[in-house]
Each structure stands twice: as structure tokens, then as C-alpha cells.
Amino acid sequence: MGTVFRALALGLFLSSLLFSIAISEPDDGLIRIGLKKLNLDQNNRLAARLESKEGEELRASIRRYSPRGKTVNNAETDIVALKNYMDAQYFGEIGVGTPPQKFTVIFDTGSSNLWVPSTKCYFSVSCFFHTKYKSSQSSTYKKNGKSAAIQYGTGAISGFVSEDSVKIGGLVVKDQEFIEATSEPGVTFLVAKFDGILGLGFKEISVGNSTPVWYNMLKQGLIKEPVFSFWLNRNVGDEQGGEIVFGGSDPNHYKGQHTYVPVTQKGYWQFEMGDVLIDGKESGYCSGGCSAIADSGTSLLAGPTTVITMINHAIGASGVVSKECKSVVDKYGQTIMDLLLAEAKPKKICSQIGLCTFDGTRGVSGAIESVVDEKEGRSSGMSEAMCPACEMAVVWMQNQLKQNKTQDHILNYVNELCEKLPSPMGQSAVDCASISSMPSVSLTIGGKKFDLAPKEYILKVGEGAQAQCISGFTGLDIPPPRGPLWILGDIFMGRYHTVFDYGKLRVGFAEAA
């Protein structure tokens, strides 16, 4: 699932990719691997180049890297420390082969495969800037050879499957299938501060039906409890970036009890979420329930564009004017208002006015034929974007009518929301000086409200006059039956310690400590 926002240009500081390792085994029986923090080089022009043209192609460094939907150790727990790169990438170290060849990887709950660059990657520039696996140097390597390819939200890799031992913390998983990446086209992984990805999702979304590392940990009896948990440290200045614990959780990193919700669909760690509140007021968008996933591989918090736009409007985020949206409001705003007041069914309104075709559950863009303007001699047909724009306008107006706003106020409000729609790249920027006055945003999970304060949902890049602040909310529209779907990435998981309970098929959240 891809979080999407303004391109970011990152300087490549190759010498800083190697870190010393501190291994300790305290009396609590947990195996910890300490990693030094990656310091941001002062020469990095990220903030200053946020709006640059070349930066448009490099935004993937803080976006999501998991695929789109089609696509015996005596210790009871194993702990892997994580690095935090600008609150946007969290990665830790693993070893592949015997002796272990070290790689930094994203531990990604939104995908299920393990891959690292291969020495046979000859023609992708990205491979030259990252550690590569050498099968000839491993005594436990086994040839497989099946071809494999993964299409991510912000990039792609392809290569072939191999088998070898994988060391994670103090555990060694034997005969693990993984992908040797021989092609990493584009710049997505070129600017990444990690070498590969280790997926922690369910086997149902594993490319090539490979058994995920997590499954083999359990099968080989390496951990006692079928649970793993994430603590993501959102303090960029701290040495430790976070921690993933296999086999349990560390009570030092959360407060109180976890609120658990059942997994509703295996693949991603998916569960049901209740309504979204903006400054304590219900948006009404998820009053009937929405699906969500907890995704450590996504930097931001993604959701349906309709309600994301409402949030970004409330926090003062600026986007790009949507001509289709403003056109719908200008031509059909009053009609939509009248139909809502007449208590027409909201889901059918856009089909009633001819902008959508109702499929029984929702409106879909119809094949609206263009007509020729005889005077101007040009096509003046409806854009397919008019249908989703109309449906957004219906939701926005319905929300305002529930608050007893006047019709003039509602039309002005909806026009303002149109202007807050994010750009095609998905980003929305805010004034850094206004963070303290922004409203809270809350998600309802398991009947409990989980609040996000402005300092927790704004990603600040740079310092002083060069600082840029980006909204942590980005629009991503996934159609039924899979969607609408919310993706709770690092913005949320940094605020709330997250437990992934494979044994009881549930996800738990508690305030991070």
C-alpha cells in the first residue's frame, strides 16, 4: 500500500550505511541487538529541494514499499533494534547465509516476502549502492531458481528464489526461501537507506507462495509465543530508533493495556475500524465501519480521499485545486443539497443527477459519451473524475447538514475542500508555525478513541527557515470489495505500540512509552 506525497530528494551518504553492532543478553532473557542511529548529514538538501523537479522522482524514500493487494533457541523472545530515518524509515539488520552476510531491511507487515540485492544484479544502479548477497560465499546456500517479481506501490523488483539460513537477532531460520533481486529499476530503492525488505504479512499475499520468515520461526520452534510487536521511536534525536520483539512484547515500551481487535481478513493485518473524529467531532465517514490495516512499511496514514481532504482542510493543509471537484459543486451543488434535504439516499444521488452509474452498492464512473459543442467544435464530455468528485461532495454536504449549517456556508465549505484536495502525487503541506493550533485527529478502534496530536501527525523535515512540514494524512482510494481501506502506518504505530498476535489472529494497540 503506498503512502504518497511530495517528492523528496535525498543525498546519498554511502559511508554512513555501515554501523557497529552491540549485542547484549540481559537477565530478562531477551536478545537485543543495538544499532547506532543514522545521523542526518548537514549537506542533505531535502527540505530546500522539496519542491524541486528532480525531487519528484525521489519521493519514494519516505513512501510505502509493500505490494498492492493482488498481488531451537532457548530464549522465548528475540528483539531486533530498529533505526529511525527522519521518522520515515525504520530498518534493522539481519544476516543471510553462513557465515551471515549483513543486510539492513524494512520489517514490513504489509508484505510477506524477503528479498535482498543479488551479486547477479548487473544493470540496476540501485544494486551498486547497497549490500549484495553472494551465494558462493555461503555454506548453507541451496539453489531454487524460480523466477519472482514484486510490484510495490512505489517501485518494483524482480529476480529469482534461493534458499539459505537467515539470522534475525539471536535466531537462525534455516532453509528460508528469499528473492535475490537482480533488477531494481528506477530510483525508488536507489535513495532508500535499507537494502531489502522482510515481509511480516500472511502467506496469503506472499509472491510465489513462499513461506514467510515469520512462519518458519514458528515452525522451527525458535520462539515460544506466536506474537511479535513493534515500538517505533518518534524522537529523531534518540540513538535508538525502535524495536521489534519476536515472541512477545517489551512492557517498557507501552503504557496500560492493549486494545485488541480481530483480524478480519488474512493477507494484510486487517481489522475493523470505527469513525474518524476531527477535533473531537465525528466525521461520519466510518460510522458504519471501515476496514484498516496496521502497516509498518508505510510512513504516513492513508485513507479515502473524501475524509482525508476533510482532515487536511481542518488542519490547514494546502493541496492542488481539483477542477472536476469545483465543477461538480458549481454545476450540481444546489441539486445535491436539495436531494439531501429531500432525504434521498446519499449513495444514489450522483447516479440520479447522471454523474455515476449505481451498481447496487455505490456509484461508479459511467461511460459518459462526449458531445460536440457545435459552436466551439470541441468535445465537452464529462470526465470520469466527476463521479468520485460528486460522491465526495455528497459526503461533505451530508456532514455539514448534520451540523445544521446554512446552505451558503455548506457550498462555500465544499468549495474550500475542493481546493484542499491533494495533488496527483498525494502530498499536502502545512505551515510549521501553525502546528500548535491544529486540531487533534482520532481513530476509533475496538470502541476506543486513539488520538493523534498535531506534533504526532505532522512530518517535519529540516530546521529553521528551511523546514518543511507535511501532513501525515494522504488519500488512497481502494474500491470495494477490498476497500475502502485505511492504512495505519508509522504515523500511527509510532504513537501506539502495536502487537501482532498470530496465534489469536488479532492486532493490539497501547500508548507507546
Tell me, yes or no, if 238 is annotated catalytic.
no
Cα 235–239–243 angle (5° rounding)?
A: 75
Farthest CA pair distance, the chain: 84
List the end-to-end C-alpha distance of the chain, in Å, as a whole number: 27
Name the catalytic one among 87, 295, 490, 501. 295
| Those residues with Cβ within 8 angstroms of residue 342's Cβ, 6 or more apart along the chain or in another chain | none
Distances (CA, A) of 419 to 160, 301, 324, 336: 46, 21, 11, 19
Eight-state DSSP code of residue 438: S
Give the number of C-alpha atoms closer than 13 A to the C-alpha of residue 479, restricted to the C-beta side: 8
Are the beta carbons of 80 and 170 closer than 8 angstroms? no
Are the beta carbons of 47 and 467 closer than 8 angstroms? yes
Tell me, yes or no, if 275 is annotated catalytic.
no
Q: Copy the grid coordinates of residue 343.
A: 432525504
Distance CA 217, CA 213 (A): 6
DSSP of 72-132: --S-S-EEEEEEEETTTEEEEEEEETTTTEEEEEEEETT---EEEEBTT--S-HHHHTS--
Eight-state DSSP code of residue 64: -
Which residue, 417, 345, 459, is CA-closest to 89?
Answer: 459
Eight-state DSSP code of residue 421: S
Q: Copy the grid coordinates of residue 130.
A: 547497497
Name the catalytic one among 78, 87, 108, 250. 108
Omega into 422 within 30° of 0, i.e. cis? no
Q: Distance from CA of residue 46 to its chain's centroid?
A: 21
Distance CA 268, CA 295 (A): 8
Please name every residue paired with 150 in a beta bridge, in sequence order, or none if there are none: 157
- What's the CA dihedral at 15, 163, 152, 509 to 10 degrees? -90
Question: Can you give the C-alpha Rg of the chain in angstroms?
Answer: 24
What residue type is 106 in one-letter code? I
The sign of the torsion formed by the CA atoms of 38, 153, 310, 276 equals negative
Q: Would you please indicate which residues are annotated as catalytic (active-site) residues? A: 108, 295
